[in-house]
Amino acid sequence: MNGRLLVAGFATRHIAGSARRAGYGVIAVDHFCDLDLDLAADACIRFETLEELAALAADAAREHGVDGFLAGSGAETLALPVPLLGTAPVTAARFLDKGETQSFFEALGVRAPRRFMRGTYPAMAKPVHGSGGWRNAVVGSDDELEAWTVLYPGQPFLLQEVVAGVPASVSCIADGHRAVAVATNRQLLRGGIGMGYGFAGSVTPCDHPLAGEMAEIAETVAGASGCVGAVGVDFVLPDEGGPVAIEINPRFQGTLETVEAAAGVNLVRLHLDACDGRLPDARPEPRQCAARRILFADRDIVVGTDLSCLAPIAADIPHPGTAIPAGSAVVSVRAADPDEAAALALLDKHITAVRTYMERW
């Protein structure tokens, strides 16, 4: 055992599992505390709202004697009474602001969606703060924009050019000055009405003609960002022209487990090496295609079955008796194969198996 790490954020199961596989004990502060997080962590402290996270994480750090802190989504700017292992809060805060991120891309000369003023449509409306993309929406008129802002009152927002193409990302490891692309990913979005741009999974590697160029841009972006450790850069890969940079994630990303499964690496270990100034010598070659899809509730449900029997194809496994409202995440489904088409076919088969259980609830 290498020591004990505090992992905090809205959903941390993927980070905690990587830390455990790297040989660390884990204390998790998490919104879900799912069954498989309980297995990966020595202790799991659950919070209801992000406003509770800072105090609970500080208490956990003091009570459990951890050696350092790894930030997940929602915990990027926390100041805790233990060493932070990763991007400094002031740097993370810059890239949690989508307006600041846009300015950063523009200053670097990296292609990004054009900013639009109110009155230019269609436009992508997105809150300045927030992750996961679930509140983003395309609006086509002043009335549609007004209806969207009513859903998120008082929140500053950004209007951007709508860029059609394949949603993708690059998972990088950075030391504050340089970065190495560990993997390219195709992002799976929820689709449909309402939360259509929300993150719903990933396929690694990204099999697209622009993937190599995207990785090069991401290394430039991540290296110039000042971020340390795991950092992700989101893109759209359009039908014409080069990659379009969308966002920077100054923390571990939701693509972590498809990256690890495809590239044969441990991202927590690479992250901690980068904190000590060590980067991979080269980009890892993918060994296989790995895919993960998040399943969402199509109605209000109460979990009626322990899905642990479906591991390892299922992850983020909720406790039986958990009430899950319509539209919320229920469970993740995974698959891998050397061939991408076979991996995706296997993913569909696994989804069908998991849904068979869910339909009984």
Tokens 């379009």 belong to residue:
244
Please say whether the beta carbons of 81 and 61 come within 8 A: yes
* pLDDT at residue 31, rounded to an integer: 97
Nearest to 234 by CA among 332, 331, 131: 131
Alpha-helix residue ranges (DSSP H) falling in the chain: 13-21, 35-40, 53-64, 89-96, 98-108, 142-151, 211-225, 256-263, 267-275, 340-358
Judged by DSSP in three states, 314 sits in strand
- Are residues 317 and 36 in contact, defined by beta-carbon separation less than 8 angstroms? yes
- Pairing label, strands 166-175, 137-139: unpaired
- Going by C-beta distance under 8 Å and a sequence separation of 6 or more, which residues neighbour residue 109? none
Give the relative orientation of helices 98-108 and 211-225 as an angle to the nearest 10 degrees. 110
Q: Give me the residue spans of the domains in the chain.
A: 4-85, 289-358
Distance between CA atoms of 289 and 180, rounded to whole angstroms?
A: 20
202-250 pLDDT tens trace:
999 999 999 999 999 999 999 999 999 999 999 999 999 999 999 999 9
Q: Indicate if the pLDDT at residue 1 is higher than 70.
A: no
CA dihedral 153→155→161→164, nearest 10 degrees, is -80
Query: What pLDDT score does 282 carry?
Result: 96
27 pairs with which residues across the strands?
6, 43
pLDDT of residue 350: 98
For 174-210, how does the pLDDT look when each residue is reduced to its tens digit (9 = 90+)?
A: 999 999 999 999 999 998 777 889 999 999 999 999 9
Structure confidence by residue, pLDDT tens digits, 270-303: 999 999 999 999 999 999 999 999 999 999 999 9
> How far is Cα 182 from Cα 273, in angstroms, rounded to an integer?
14
d(CA 70, CA 152): 29
| Dihedral pair phi/psi, residue 307, rounded to 5° | -80, 5
What pLDDT is recorded for position 317? 98
pLDDT at 30 over 60: yes
CATH topology for 4-85 is: Rossmann fold (3.40.50)
Query: Cβ contacts of residue 97 below 8 Å, gap of 6+?
Result: 128, 129
Whole-number Å distance between alpha carbons of 95 and 85: 17
